[in-house]
Amino acid sequence: MSAAEEVVAEGHERVEAVPKRAMTLGTTTSLVVLAALLIVPVFAKNFIIFQITMLLIYGLAVLALNILTGGSGQFSLGQSAFYAVGAYTAAVLMEQFNVNYALTLPIAGVICFGFGYLFGKPALRLSGVYLALATFALATAMPQLLKLNFLEHWTGGVQGLVVTKPDAPFGLKVSQDTWLYYFTLAVTVAIYIFSVNLLRSRSGRAFMAIRDNEIAASSMGVNVALYKTLAFGVSAGITGVSGALGAIAVQFVAPDSYTITLAISLFLGMVVGGVGWLPGSFVGAAFIIFVPNIAESISKGLSGAVFGVLLFLVIFLVPHGARQVAIVSQQLLGKLRK
């Protein structure tokens, strides 16, 4: 017995330095961020409001990828395909079938969940870089699939579809942009909370168990095939909702808006935000929206090169992305308080 105690004591000394990994922000920080987001439209111009709306929308798409990669350990370079399906679902339903914009979101989510789940089935046989390649193929195929002749009647073919921007309901006297912002914020907060719940639940633990060790996970009773496809489904579903919101915000869908470049941007957003850290998704989204603009303001001709240098700096200085910044600043704050 005494020896057992010794072993524990020994272990205790050595592990003290390991920080507890959290998936989320603390309650106080979350509330401060939410409050800031709620009052932004009071000060900001419509264009800024639109950009923050897009930040939330891309943030959701990055969050979806984060659940797949950070949660279940599966790579995807095909998120643009799910985003496109979501966007087209919303656009076609609103413009061809006069469905209310708010209703198109859950429909897009369900359709993309099914699409992702089905795609996840054959993808089960692949892992790591091979899975990344298979999803890459999906992303490359999607714009051309959307241009198919027999779909043109609904999708508008190469021309795409123009989407009507919704007005604020109940006669509220706010601009369309402001209303859409609050609508997007509500959807984002809801999905964020659901995602945090999911990752902290039995299902989320099954995802992470698979990510860390598939054989051990299945010995514990985790149906590896089921949870891997579920992760694909959930990720695709959230990406679909984000795509639908994107279509409504941009008021336009066209096949070439959803190329592999979008998929890579989302992947980049995930890495910059910190893989597996959900709040980082929105930091990553801010990076992929604003940094190209910053790069352009530095040099018009060489904006791509400047973006590259900035990206390189981020990866070099904070390889674990925004999560690392958050951990370091938390430690600094802790020291200051002492």
Partner 1 sequence: MTQAQLAQGTSPLLAVRDVSVVFGGIVALNGVTFDMHKGQILGLIGPNGAGKTTLFNCLSRLYQPSSGDILMEGVSILSRPPHKIAEIGIGRTFQNVALFPNLSVMDNVRVGTHARTSSDIISDSLKLAWVRRSEASVNKKVHEILDYLDLGDVAHTVVSGLPFGTQKRVELARALAADPKILLLDEPAGGLNHEEVYVLGDLIRRIRDDRHMTVLLVEHHMGLVMSIADHVVALNFGKKLAEGTPAQVQADPDVIKAYLGSKDQ
Quote the radius of gyration of the chain (alpha carbons, Å): 21
CB atoms within 10 A of CB 250: 18
161 has which bridge partners?
A: 253
253 has which bridge partners?
A: 161
With binding defined as CB under 8 A, does residue 336 bind partner 1? no
Q: Which is nearer to partner 1, 18 or 39 (CB)?
A: 18
3-state secondary structure at position 253: strand
* Coarse DSSP helix, strand, coil percentages of the chain, rounded to the nearest 5 percent: 80, 0, 20
With binding defined as CB under 8 A, does residue 208 bind partner 1? yes
With binding defined as CB under 8 A, does residue 203 bind partner 1? yes
Residue 23 contacts residue 276 (beta carbons within 8 Å) = yes
Among 29, 100, 164, 197, the residue binding partner 1 under the rule CB under 8 A is 197
With binding defined as CB under 8 A, does residue 10 bind partner 1? yes
Query: Torsion angle of alpha carbons 275, 280, 285, 291, nearest 10°?
Result: -100
Q: Which is nearer to partner 1, 194 or 312 (CB)?
A: 194
Q: Is the C-alpha dihedral spanning 72, 76, 81, 87 positive or negative? A: positive
Q: Which is nearer to partner 1, 136 or 192 (CB)?
A: 192
With binding defined as CB under 8 A, does residue 64 bind partner 1? no
3-state secondary structure at position 252: strand
Among 219, 301, 316, 337, the residue binding partner 1 under the rule CB under 8 A is 219
With binding defined as CB under 8 A, does residue 204 bind partner 1? yes
Binding track, positions 254-293, relative to partner 1; x by CB under 8 A: ----------------------------------------
Binding-site residue total for partner 1 (CB under 8 A)? 42
Residue whose C-alpha is closest to residue 181's, from 30, 32, 31, 56: 56
321 Rama class: left (phi>0) / alpha (psi -120 to 50) / beta? left
Among 140, 205, 303, 315, the residue binding partner 1 under the rule CB under 8 A is 205
Distance in Å, CB of 18 to partner 1, minimum: 4
Binding track, positions 222-241, relative to partner 1; x by CB under 8 A: xxx-----x---x-------
Which residues would be at the binding site for partner 1 (CB under 8 A)? 1, 3-5, 7-8, 10-12, 14-15, 17-18, 20-21, 194-195, 197-198, 201-206, 208-209, 211-213, 215-224, 230, 234
